[in-house]
Amino acid sequence: MTAFTTEQKLLRESVQKLMATHANRDYVRAKDKARAYPYELYDAWVEAGLLGVIFPEKYGGMGGDAVDLAICVEEIAYVSADFQMCYGGSMFCGVTLLMKGSEAQKEAWLPKVISGERRFSISMSEPEAGSDVGAIRTKAERQGDGYVLNGQKLWNTAAGARDNTMFVYVKSDPTAHYRKGVSLLLVDNDAPGVKLNKLDMLGRHCAGTYEVFFTDAKVDEDRLVGGENKGWDCVLSGLQIERVVSSAGNCGSAQGVVDMAAAWAKERKQFGRPIGSNQAIAHMIADMQTEVAAAKALTYQAAFKVAAGEDALAEITMAKLFSSETFVKVANMGMQIMGGYGYSNEFDMARFYRDCRSCTIAAGSSQIQRNLIAGLMGLKVQ
Ligand SMILES: Cc1cc2nc3c(=O)[nH]c(=O)nc-3n(C[C@H](O)[C@H](O)[C@H](O)COP(=O)(O)OP(=O)(O)OC[C@H]3O[C@@H](n4cnc5c(N)ncnc54)[C@H](O)[C@@H]3O)c2cc1C
């Protein structure tokens, strides 16, 4: 693995400072309690240029790479896994546009996402198409200079934020088999014919998880990305960056949990001594830190390869699998270490515990990641 540059170390420090200034404990708790989107924090990210970190300078970005992006995501997620989803969605959808959009589309959309004028979210899953993404049914029919959409999407993170444009995967050729005949369309969440409903989920209450209904929603042709019926190429183009984002997010949040548990174990006294002086507790914390360090190593090994323009599908899939399971594991142990306080919604451990659970499900479940890794090893998994 390559080492972080001086600039990358400075970037990490600046994101840490930004989060400490704009997302202190009271802010995070208040937003979580109110289930409210962190617009003020998003504005601070925009102000600091974080929405442009991975985009070329000619569109107003910082011209960074996958490692720079991973650093930003990790430090945001250290504070809140939920807030990280607000940042991450705009980033990996933007990368899909960067890779598959026309020059005119890049010029039209990327400066807007960098300046905070628009946000992006992804709309892929449907009631009957979760792990089996190729089974999507939302259809787009050609009409004049554009398309008419009908159908339903499900579990769409942060789709309801204001000024949000959804990256909607649709079936544009109903006669084409499975993953063929899929297209990617950009649809504003307040366009006529589009209706959203925020779902009552276990966690991630601020970004929110939405179902989206399309009823004769009209979409202009210039919002088609990557060509008609070429949507599957768009899915694949953004996949590795999406997994860099999820893996770095898992690592950041898992580290947040470990630090919280370690601090508690040093402070909390029972039987006249800190609970961390019991070997049972100290060893749990040592195991937690070891696993998080391993998750980070896998994640950055993959991110450095992606940044170098190399194929990192195997590494980033293993990183997504391991980091998500590590986050779930350490949040469970962190709650045990904090006892009743950990279970209380007045403490941040409970929020991480709620927010972690979706990580082994969303963006490809652990089982799907294992299928893929085994497949890359030459095993034919049914
Ligand atoms: C909080 C949250 C946020 C999300 N955000 C988004 C979003 O922004 N945009 C979006 O499009 N989607 C989003 N999703 C959807 C997510 O990608 C799906 O939930 C995920 O792909 C799994 O699909 P499913 O829930 O339908 O489960 P299913 O596909 O029904 O799977 C159920 C179980 O069966 C297992 N399984 C399925 N197929 C296989 C197989 N072949 N081999 C072994 N096991 C298998 C799965 O691993 C899982 O354990 C989000 C989901 C959650 C929970």
d(CA 173, CA 166): 20
pLDDT > 90? residue 380 = no
Q: Which two tokens stand for residue 22?
A: 């704009």
Q: Give the Cα separation of 242 and 238 in Å (integer).
A: 6
* Neighbour tally for 12: CB within 10 Å: 16
153 contact partners, CB below 8 Å, separation of at least 6: 123, 124, 125, 126, 138, 159, 166, 168, 211, 212, 214
Best mutation site among 85, 359, 361 for ligand 1 pocket (most ligand atoms within 8 Å of CB): 361
Q: How many helices (H) and strands (E) in the chain?
A: 11, 10
pTM: 0.97
Among 131, 167, 358, name the best residue to mutate to test ligand 1's pocket (greatest count of ligand atoms within 8 A of Cβ).
131
Residues recognised as catalytic: 242
Is the shortest distance between the CB of 156 and ligand 1 below 6 Å?
Answer: yes
Using 50, 70 and 90 to split pLDDT, how confident is the model at 136?
very high
Q: Is residue 354 in contact with ligand 1, taking CB distance under 6 Å?
A: no
Residues, the chain, total? 382
Mean pLDDT of 324-330: 98
Report how far apart the first and last C-alpha atoms of the chain are (Å, whole number).
34
On the question of pLDDT at 356 being above 90, the answer is yes
- Give the pLDDT band of residue 1 (cuts 50, 70, 90): low
Contact partners, residue 25, CB within 8 Å, separation at least 6: 348
Question: Which residue has its alpha carbon closest to ligand 1 atom 23?
Answer: 130
Per-residue confidence (pLDDT) for residue 371, from 0 to 100: 97
pLDDT digit string, tens, across residues 16-52: 999 999 999 999 999 999 999 999 999 999 999 999 9
Helix (H) or strand (E) holding 105: helix 103-114
> Once rounded to an integer, what is the mean pLDDT over residues 308-328?
97
The model's confidence at residue 169, banded by pLDDT at 50, 70 and 90, is: very high
* Averaged pLDDT, 245-256: 98
- Using DSSP's 3-state secondary structure scheme, residue 8 falls into helix
Please identify, by atom number, the ligand 1 atom nearest to the C-alpha of residue 366.
Answer: 47
Domains of the chain and CATH, by start: 6-118 (1.10.540.10), 121-229 (2.40.110.10), 233-376 (1.20.140.10)
Element (H, E) at 154: strand 146-157
188 and 162 Cβ atoms separated by less than 8 Å:
no
Q: Does ligand 1 have an atom closer than 6 angstroms to the CB of 131?
A: yes
Q: Is 143 helix (H, G, I), strand (E, B) or coil?
A: strand
pLDDT at position 238 is 87
pLDDT, the chain, mean: 97
Decide: 78 and 253 in contact? Cβ < 8 Å.
yes
